[in-house]
Chain A
Amino acid sequence: MSDAESEPDAGGILVPVGESVTLRNTVAYAVQVAEETDAAVIHFVVPVAWRDFGETSNAERSRSGSLLERVEVWANEDVDGADVSVETAIIGDDEYLFSPDDYAAVLAAYASSNGLDRVVVDPEYSPGGNVPLLRPLEVELVRRGFAVEEAPIGQPTRRQQLLGRGGTAGFGIIFVITFGFYQLLGGFTIVTGDAFDFWYELLTGTITAAVVAGALHRITISGTPHPARTAIRVGRLCLYIPYLVYEIVKSNVLITFIILHPKLPIEPRMTRVQSAVWGGPAITTLANSITLTPGTLTVRSDGHDLYVHALFPAAREGLFDGALERAVRFVFYGRASAAIATPEERGDCEILTETDEEGEV
């Protein structure tokens, strides 16, 4: 850091980094830019999206640390004797970063205190997990007067954007669903009523569905719709719901017993389960099912990691046994994927709460 402060006029480059498939290319590109613009220093920084939660934070911190070590090795490889120094840092850990604006503010503060005037971003960099933050972050940084550029990557990027491509298929799907829902709320007078009802419901339904589909088809449908696959999933979901209801009833009875028990035999623990489901909808389904089942409560989801509060040992064992997880995998990926090992067998679960007692599981 002292390098940058001693020669601030030469300028420097700031590269926010995180786990991403294109990180290696981004490092190479940042070094290339540094050589072209005679920048004296490149700072690779990891803006952190957590607060100090003890162990969790330490795990994140060591992960970020090893990421930065890797980046530093790569960068020094690319610099190869040129007059560019490489610095790394973890920033923002005294603040809670949430919006693109927060990230931009932390990055800007770091940049100005180290005399950096240029920002290179990884096109696959996604500090917010599933939330698309990159584009607004770039806009914020430009507004703060930085030269921002994205590292060009040879392979096509699959960036998640708020607006999908939409298209006729997406419009059609939303239109049909909305029209169906409209008729449902109208009590199907379109078929049961007289001629006036038919034309009235048809006209108002069509207008409503067209407006909704026009406004939402690019937001709701991200990616290419797969009607067949979706239909299969909905079918499996219909099998899943009775199972979920059974689980809910079972644990409701158990928790009722516990609440009404004079001694209140609870043993709350915070646990972490690395779930073996992939993609937003599947993780959301799993996390919501866990919360719906009394006795387990999803407190936080961080990529595949679900932080689950379990109220009593039976709930915890059920969670580690992964029955719900298996059922959600069945819904989204079919029967074959349901058979993989439980979180306990995989070693993908742990109890985070520390207790004074010995011999806890």
Chain B
Amino acid sequence: MNEIRLAAILLLLAGGVFFTFVSAVGVIRLPDVYARAHTASQTDTLGAGFVVLAVVLAYGFDADVIKAVLLLVFIFVTNPTAAHAAARAAYEEGIEPWTEGDERR
């Protein structure tokens, strides 16, 4: 039983790390501020999501689990707000979205 739990925890952690890694790759590869904001939300949704799930499994089901879930709720509320603020600021600065064929910025 404990081995299964450990395996599940490791799998979840690996998933979290994987999506965070992809997100970092995306920030480097994608061409402009708007596109990068898309991938930045990956870190917070699946990246943090999997890690928090791993934490939940590791702690077992007690009061701390509720805190971990609350943490996820707050991330889910604040992440889009921050992404929106960054994108909106770019939009209001008049930055045109990148389209195919443009130079990378």
Decide if A187 touches B63 in the complex (CB within 8 Å).
Answer: yes
Decide if B64 touches A187 in the complex (CB within 8 Å).
Answer: yes
Decide if B77 touches A309 in the complex (CB within 8 Å).
Answer: no
Q: How many residues of B contact A (CB 8 A)?
A: 43
When A and B form their complex, what is the total count of cross-chain residue pairs whose Cβ atoms lie within 8 Å? Answer: 119
Residue of B nearest to A356 (CB): B101
B49 surroundings in chain A (CB, below 8 A): 245
Q: Tell me if A256 is interfacial: C-beta within 8 Å of chain B.
A: yes
Shortest Cβ distance from A172 into chain B, in angstroms? 23
Q: Tell me if A295 is interfacial: C-beta within 8 Å of chain B.
A: yes
> For A269, A270, A297, A309, which residue has the most chain B Cβ atoms within 10 angstroms?
A297
B64 surroundings in chain A (CB, below 8 A): 187
Decide if A268 touches B22 in the complex (CB within 8 Å).
Answer: no
Say yes or no: A299-B41 contact (C-beta < 8 A), given A187-B63, A353-B97. no
Q: Tell me if A288 is interfacial: C-beta within 8 Å of chain B.
A: yes
Decide if B39 touches A291 in the complex (CB within 8 Å).
Answer: no
A353 to B53, CA, bound (A): 39
Decide if B42 touches A255 in the complex (CB within 8 Å).
Answer: yes
The secondary structure that dominates the A interface is mixed
Query: A255-B39, A269-B99, A353-B96 are known contacts; what are 14 more A-B pairs with Cβ within 8 Å?
Result: A51-B92, A184-B66, A252-B46, A255-B26, A255-B38, A264-B29, A269-B97, A292-B79, A292-B80, A293-B41, A297-B83, A297-B84, A299-B87, A357-B100
B30 surroundings in chain A (CB, below 8 A): 259, 264, 266
A289 surroundings in chain B (CB, below 8 A): 80
What are 13 A-to-B residue pairs whose CB atoms are below 8 Å?
A: A245-B49, A255-B42, A259-B29, A259-B39, A266-B35, A268-B35, A270-B34, A288-B80, A291-B80, A297-B37, A309-B35, A355-B100, A356-B101
Shortest Cβ distance from B16 into chain A, in angstroms? 12
28-70 of chain B: CB within 8 A of chain A: 29-32, 34-35, 37-39, 41-42, 45-46, 49, 62-64, 66-67, 70
282-306 of chain A: CB within 8 A of chain B: 287-300
A296 to B32, CA, bound (A): 14
A267 surroundings in chain B (CB, below 8 A): 99-100
B83 surroundings in chain A (CB, below 8 A): 291, 297
Residue of A nearest to B83 (CB): A291
Decide if A259 touches B26 in the complex (CB within 8 Å).
Answer: yes
Give chain B's interface residues, CB within 8 Å of chain A: 19, 22, 25-26, 29-32, 34-35, 37-39, 41-42, 45-46, 49, 62-64, 66-67, 70, 76-77, 79-81, 83-84, 87-88, 90-92, 94, 96-101
The secondary structure that dominates the B interface is helix
Contact with B99, one of A187, A188, A259, A268 (Cβ below 8 angstroms) = A268
A294 to B49, CA, bound (A): 14
A248 to B46, CA, bound (A): 8
Decide if B32 touches A291 in the complex (CB within 8 Å).
Answer: no
Give chain A's interface residues, CB within 8 Å of chain B: 51-53, 96, 184-185, 187-188, 245, 248-249, 252, 255-256, 259-260, 264, 266-270, 287-300, 307, 309, 311, 353, 355-357
Shortest Cβ distance from B91 into chain A, in angstroms? 5
Decide if B94 touches A259 in the complex (CB within 8 Å).
Answer: no
Say yes or no: A96-B22 contact (C-beta < 8 A), given A267-B100, A270-B97, A353-B99. no
B35 surroundings in chain A (CB, below 8 A): 266, 268, 309, 311
Contact with A291, one of B84, B91, B92 (Cβ below 8 angstroms) = B84
Decide if A300 touches B91 in the complex (CB within 8 Å).
Answer: yes
A295 to B30, CA, bound (A): 12
B77 surroundings in chain A (CB, below 8 A): 288
Contact with B32, one of A245, A264, A268 (Cβ below 8 angstroms) = A268
Decide if A297 touches B97 in the complex (CB within 8 Å).
Answer: no
Decide if B87 touches A309 in the complex (CB within 8 Å).
Answer: yes
Shortest Cβ distance from B18 into chain A, in angstroms? 8
Contact with B92, one of A96, A245, A268, A355 (Cβ below 8 angstroms) = A96
A300 surroundings in chain B (CB, below 8 A): 87-88, 91-92
A295 surroundings in chain B (CB, below 8 A): 38
Shortest Cβ distance from B77 into chain A, in angstroms? 7
A341 to B61, CA, bound (A): 43
Contact with A288, one of B62, B70, B81 (Cβ below 8 angstroms) = B81
